[in-house]
Chain A
Amino acid sequence: MDQKNFIYLDGEKIPHFHSLSGFAYKEVYRKSDWDKELPDPGQYPFTRGIHRDMYRGRLWTRRQQSGFGTPEQSNERIKYLLKIGQTGINMDTDIGTKLGLDPDHPLARADVGLQGTSLCTYEDIEALYADIPLDRVSSTLIVQPPCSAVIMSQYLLMAKERGIPWEKLIGTIMNCALTQFVGPTYESVTAFFPIDLTVKIGLDVMEYIVQRVPRWNIVNINAYNVRETGVDAVQEAAFSISLAADYIRRLMGRGLDVDRFAHRMAFFCAAHIDLFEEVAKLRAMRRIWARMLRETFGAKNERSLWFRTAIQTSALPLTAQQPLNNIVRATIQTLAAVLAGTQSIHTTGYDEAYSLPTEESHKLSIRTQQIIAYETKVVNSVDPLGGSYLVESLTDQLEEEILDLMKIIEDKGGFIQCFKDGWVEEQINQARYKMAEAIETGQQPVVGVNIFREEDEQVKINIFRHSSDMQEERVRYAQDYKKHRDTETVKRALHDLQDLVRQRPEENLFESIMKAVEARATLQEICDALRRATDFKIPS
């Protein structure tokens, strides 16, 4: 055995005392580090939480992402999750659906149903939501523009068909143009759609929904995917709030009052493994949002000032080595999310480094949250870490650095401009290399990987497997579907959409897209009409 395996006998020491994002933790925090007034939870600027009573009034929503294979298979999983105590639906779509490709497109075939459910027709969404009470359970639909316009249209038409008024629908369309794929990486955002049209259609969806589906969240900035590229807590917060600020400016530019829509904007953040830093990050984000909405955008309605966020426990610290360790990590991350006062949580499965979660792993994630909620008593008092010298001082520090970075982004023309200029891409790549180096050098210790590694480990893990004929089934379905409809109606609707984009590009495209859905155009056909209208070519 290698000698280096015995070093821990000489007294264990961690390599340094910096936070994951590089803040130096002090040996001890005292009154001299933080001595300020702290408004109560539910009071501006909401550092301690957006509600006075938080989890005493209502627990966070248990919202595990699901979605794989065919819509019928995903429907079964949703029903299973609701049966064991999930309280909200979080429906992920496969990559083809997000990129506007039907299952029968040659480049899409091998990815059909792998990372989410495959949706391309109106009938697909009906199958996905069979027997699900749309007015009683809130749904998050994970899809970004322009496909968000198509999926949202399908959802609204389904509600209409079932006789449920749109006023009663509760849920969220993620609908963020830049953050949905693997964070805001340039190639993934720009390869399948023209970027300006993508951003524009995202705003079209927001504008349409806010006026007609009052309880629906119009956008969810995917700060989680931003963080998962490897950037730090400050960048996660600054990038996502700066992007939200861009959306706010543009919606106000369309003549919408900020109080009409700000309370329907939300975030989806990461809870990484540095517990205090993550709590401080979310507390800082709440404060920054409240002040920005009031001071910069002049919001008057208190609800506009509420920074509402869903949390997923970050998958970056999870390891393929010794996968059971991931249960422990995810539990601590879930606790961080709860201590930070989030609105909903997805606890990442311990099998994440191998596959989509099995039913068993999904259940364990929900049980993790239920144990924290019902057994540990950490929910009994609101913002239990509030007033801690350490957490308050870290919250102040993070707030300051986030604001500094937001200022840099603003000076460069805003986040969307920074993205288009390649600046965001540069920041992300630097962060990725830094993250890899920190693990390589041991500066970021990871149990089972760069410390306490077992060289001859044989991983035994029960992993999720897709049914073998699922992809072929979806390809056949898409092909058959197109043969059995009134092609003239479809053609006309697509033609109208294309004309509208060409001739009146400023107009809101949502209704025209919905008409195409109603005519039974598929997701890709609608996206292709948008691509044709802008002479855009996809990879082949």
Chain B
Amino acid sequence: MIKRKRLIVGKMGLDAHDNGLRIIAKWLMEGGYEIIYAGLYNTPERIAQIAAEEDADAVGISFLGGEHLYYTDALIRKLNEMGMKQVKVVVGGVIPPDDVQDLKARGADAIFTPGTTKQEILDTIESLFD
């Protein structure tokens, strides 16, 4: 049996808009992923720590208020520091068009902005593990 992929999903910093996070978490579970829900108010250190403890295949982080560059950067740096370069980083939420490329350049593996369909999300995440 192939091991189910395990994803940590959560938000970092103070923003608490978690509609998207909750919905995506449910969709991913329905898509066969194992989800560890880290909830709100995480630091990059905490998300990386959970990813290490849980031997996660990916982390999914969601933003709304414009704090995506700061925290994605910090998280990727932390994952690299801890020797977890293999952990995929998936970013979702309100991300201005110019920042989508920027986030990719900084090492995010996939970015989902509002209006992305369930199928598109599942297909993209699956492709990360090909």
Binding site for B on A (CB under 8 A): 95-96, 99, 101, 106-108, 110-111, 114-115, 181-182, 185, 187-188, 191, 228-230, 319-321, 353-356, 429, 432-433, 436, 440, 446, 448-450, 458-459, 461, 463, 466, 539-540
Contact = CB atoms under 8 A, between A and B. Distances in A.
B41 A110 contact: no
- Give the residue among B14, B16, B23, B43 with the most A Cβ atoms within 10 A: B14
Interface of B: 13-19, 22-23, 26-27, 39-43, 65-67, 70-71, 94, 96-97, 113-115, 117-118
Given A187-B16, A355-B96, A110 B23 contact: no
A426 to B, nearest CB: 12
A433 B23 contact: yes
19 contacts: A95-B15, A107-B14, A111-B65, A114-B67, A115-B15, A115-B66, A182-B16, A182-B18, A187-B41, A191-B41, A319-B114, A321-B115, A353-B94, A354-B94, A355-B94, A449-B115, A458-B97, A459-B97, A461-B96
Contacts of B117: 440, 450
B22 A96 contact: no
Nearest to B117: A440
Nearest to A351: B96
Given A96-B14, A188-B40, A354-B94, A229 B67 contact: no
B12 to A, nearest CB: 8
Contacts of A353: 94, 114
A110 B15 CA distance: 10
A107 B16 contact: no
Given A110-B67, A539-B41, 13 more contacts: A95-B65, A96-B14, A107-B41, A107-B43, A111-B65, A114-B67, A187-B41, A228-B19, A319-B114, A320-B94, A355-B66, A355-B94, A461-B96
Secondary structure call for the A interface: loop
Contact of B67 (A101, A111, A188, A540): A111
A432 B40 contact: no
Contacts of A188: 16, 18, 40
- Give the residue among A114, A191, A450 with the most B Cβ atoms within 10 A: A114
B126 to A, nearest CB: 18
B19 A111 contact: no
A95 B16 contact: yes
Secondary structure call for the B interface: loop
A433 B25 CA distance: 10
Contacts of B23: 432-433, 436
Closest 8 CB pairs of A and B: A188-B16, A95-B14, A320-B114, A539-B41, A436-B23, A110-B70, A111-B14, A114-B65
B19 A230 contact: yes
Contact of B16 (A108, A181, A429, A448): A181
Nearest to B22: A432
A450 B117 CA distance: 8
Contacts of B71: 110
Contact of A110 (B13, B17, B40): B13
A286 to B, nearest CB: 29
B83 to A, nearest CB: 24
Contacts of B118: 440
Contacts of B16: 95, 181-182, 185, 187-188
A111 B42 CA distance: 13
Contacts of B96: 354-355, 461, 463
A144 B98 CA distance: 34
A97 B17 CA distance: 16
B113 A320 contact: yes
Contacts of B67: 110-111, 114
A185 B41 contact: no
A319 B117 CA distance: 13
A320 B111 CA distance: 14
A114 B65 CA distance: 6
Nearest to B42: A539
A435 to B, nearest CB: 8
Contacts of A187: 16, 18, 39-41
Contacts of A95: 14-16, 65
A511 B115 CA distance: 48
B41 A182 contact: no
Contact of B115 (A96, A99, A181, A319): A319
A431 to B, nearest CB: 10
A353 B94 CA distance: 6
A432 B66 CA distance: 23
A229 B19 contact: yes
